[in-house]
Structure 1
């Protein structure tokens, strides 16, 4: 039976970024993922916000054109509110390419990435794997998604407040669209969240998300209904890809780590509770997680684990959690029309711009870092 310092379960962006940073601490790191290809089973649109683009060296050739305009639509789809930034606020990534880039970065740092292997539980440091021999691991990192099995096996907190999303990806001719982010607040197709259209210069992403208990027609049916007349989009060719899955919106979990392991990414609830954006928080929390795990494995001092404090992070965005509850309560056509109407005034537009263009979508983890870590995504 092989022995590793750290076994990372899940080769998404959070898992691969954490693995790379841990390997740079000269730890023996292994990453396993049940997918046989990182281009399979993608669940995210791949929208990177300005804050992430400024703070991390993302591969520019894998990012679409900058998006400065956001259009907010009521259920009637008439007279949208246009918000325009003087800077590029969003860029949509080629996520298969980003995952492969992250994999190469992790492997270049010394981590081993094994695909086609499913996590099947752990006990007393021995991890059972479907498709491979068991592994003895000193520490386990759960990067296995919103419904993390690792979290349950380690006795850590699990996500309970989830929305479910689905998306169609369409090919578009380069240069035929003006980059914009179209957001539709319509509880008939996206109860408690919204529908969206955004393009990366090569593909248009058309999606909906909402609370599953209110999606009586089913998310796939509602997506097809929305896509039939989604604003800012025309599709003569049909979708080339479907994406979707659960999204945690309850905020960062309180209990994230113990001596046996910790959680990152969606497994940790590292998603903005209001906007449901998870790419920026997964990178930021992965840096803290890697520092904590490396310190714990080096010293055995449980004060290291206490730095990975979900309660401290939750306390820094109570307002977003409150707004999430407000948005969840918008369940009627009339309420949605009124909500958009309330944003048309100067104060409403300023509030919307602060959410969509501001820097506070997820708390900064830097104060929780006891010492500096490499804050760069590209392989060294």
Structure 2
């Protein structure tokens, strides 16, 4: 039976990033994922925000053109609020290619990645898989999504508040559109959230998300109805891809780590509770998780795990958690029209711009990790 320092369950962006960083610290790292191909089962829109692109090494050729304009629509779709930045605020990635790049980077650092291996359970370091040899792991990293089995097995917190989202992705004929991010606040389409179209001039992502118990017609029906007359829509110029899945919106979980392992990505609730953007916090929390894991395995000091503190991370989300409750309370088109009207004023536009074009991130990379004094590879 194989023994590893760290088992990472889930080969998404958070899992592969964490594995890469741990392998660079000369730890024996194994990554497993039940998918047989990383190009299947993609659930994210793949939007990278400016701060992520400033701080992380996402290859430029994997990203679409920059998007600088956001339009916010009321249910009537009349007179949208137009917000324009002087910088590229969003770029949409080819996520299948991003995952392939992340896998190569993890393997180049020394991690082993096994696909088609389904995690079953972990108990006291003994990890079982379906149809594969078990392993002994000193530490388990749960990167296995919003409904994490690893979290339950380790006795850590689990996500309890979800949106369900679905989108259609299709290519756009070159030169036929101007890059823009269209957002529609309409509880008939997306109860508790937004309908969206992000078109970067190469691909269009048309999607909806909302609370499942309010989607009486079902997510598939709502998506198709929205796509039929969504603002900024364009006829597909090639094959159409469908994506979807649960989105945790309760904020970062409080209990994220224990001596047996920790959580990253959606498993940790590392998604903005307002915008449902997850790629920026998933990368940032992976940096912190890798530093904490390496320090704990090197020293055996459980106090190191306290640095991976969900309560401290949740503090960055207080305002957005409040706004999430406000969003959830918008249950009629009239209320949505009124909410958009409030955003038309100077203060409302400033709030919208702060949310959509904001510089805030969590946790900060750089100084905080240096303060841990454990962010260096062993020699």
Residue 33 and residue 41 in structure 1: after superposition, are their counterparts in 2 closer, same or farther (change >3 A)?
Answer: same
Residue 373 of structure 2: which of 366, 371, 374 is its match? 371
Separation in 1 of the partners of 2:361 and 2:279?
11
Determine the C-alpha separation between the residues in 1 that align with 2:6 and 2:65: 37
Superposed displacement of residue 274, structure 1: 1.0
Q: What is the CA distance between 1:335 and its match in structure 2? A: 0.4
- State how far apart, in whole Å, the 1-side matches of 2:113 and 2:163 are: 30
Flag structure 2 segments of 5+ consecutive residues without an equivalent.
none
Secondary structure of the structure 2 residue equivalent to 1:134 = strand
- Once the two structures are overlaid, the 10-residue window that deviates more, 236-245 or 328-337, is 236-245
Distance in 1 between the 2:97 and 2:203 partners?
14
Query: How many positions carry a matched residue from both structures?
Result: 374
Cα deviation for residue 236 of structure 1 reads: 4.6
The alpha-carbon deviation at position 363 of structure 1 amounts to: 4.6
Quick one: distance in 2 between partners of 1:40 and 1:65? 24
1:231 to 1:108, Cα distance in 2 relative to 1, 3 A: same
CA drift of 1:303 comes to: 1.0
Counterparts of 1:162-201 in structure 2 under 5 Å?
162-201=162-201
Are positions 1:95 and 2:101 aligned together? no
Would you say 1:311 and 2:314 are equivalent positions?
no
* Distance in structure 2 (CA, Å) of the matches to 1:372 and 1:353: 37
Shift in Å at residue 174 of structure 1?
A: 2.2
Task: Quote how far apart the aligned CAs of 1:239 are.
Answer: 5.2
C-alpha distance in structure 1 between counterparts of 2:238 and 2:65, whole Å: 22
User: Do the aligned partners of residues 321 and 366 (structure 1) sit closer, same or farther apart at CA in structure 2, a change above 3 Å counting?
Assistant: farther
Distance in 2, Cα, partners of 1:146 & 1:50 = 25
User: Is 1:229 aligned with 2:216?
Assistant: no
Contact conserved, 1:275 with 1:361, CA < 8 A, in 2? no
Superposed structure 1 runs of 4+ greater than 6 Å apart: none
Whether the aligned pair in 1 keeps the contact of 2:152 and 2:158 (CA below 8 Å) is: yes
CA offsets, 1:166-199, max 9 Å, x none?
0001121222211000000010010010010012
How far did residue 365 of structure 1 move?
5.8
Query: Is 2:32–2:115's contact at 8 Å kept on the other side of the alignment?
Result: yes
Alpha-carbon contact 2:89-2:357 (below 8 Å) kept: yes
User: What TM-score comes out, normalization by structure 2 length?
Assistant: 0.96
The answer to whether the 8 A contact 1:287-1:373 is kept is no
Structure 2 CA distance, aligned partners of 1:368 and 1:307? Answer: 10
Q: Does the alignment pair 1:3 with 2:3?
A: yes
The C-alpha deviation readout for 1:100-128, integer Å capped at 9, x for no partner, is 00000000000000000000001121111
Partner of 1:222, secondary structure, is helix
- 1:186 is paired with a residue whose SS is coil
Is the CA contact (8 Å cut-off) linking 2:75 and 2:337 kept in structure 1?
Answer: yes
- Note if contact 1:8-1:31 (Cα within 8 Å) is conserved in structure 2: yes
- Partner of 2:267, secondary structure, is helix
Task: Check 1:340–1:362 CA distance in 2 against 1; reply closer, same or farther (3 A cut).
Answer: farther
1:116·1:131 contact (CA, 8 Å) conserved in 2? Answer: no
Two-structure CA RMSD over aligned residues (Å): 1.3
2:324 is aligned to 324
In the alignment, the residues of structure 1 paired with residue 316 and residue 265 of structure 2 have an alpha-carbon distance, to the nearest angstrom, of 18
Counterpart in 2 of 1:105?
Answer: 105
CA distance in 2, matches of 1:366, 1:65: 28
Distance 1:98 1:30 in 2: 20
CA 1:372/1:82 → structure 2, altered by over 3 Å: closer, same or farther?
Answer: farther
Alignment of 1:130-279 (within 5 A): 130-236=130-236, 240-279=240-279
- Which residue pairs with 2:118 in the alignment? 118
User: Per-residue deviation at 1:371?
Assistant: 2.9
Q: Report the counterpart of residue 292 of structure 2 in structure 1.
A: 292
Partner Cα separation in structure 1 for residue 367 and residue 253 of structure 2: 18
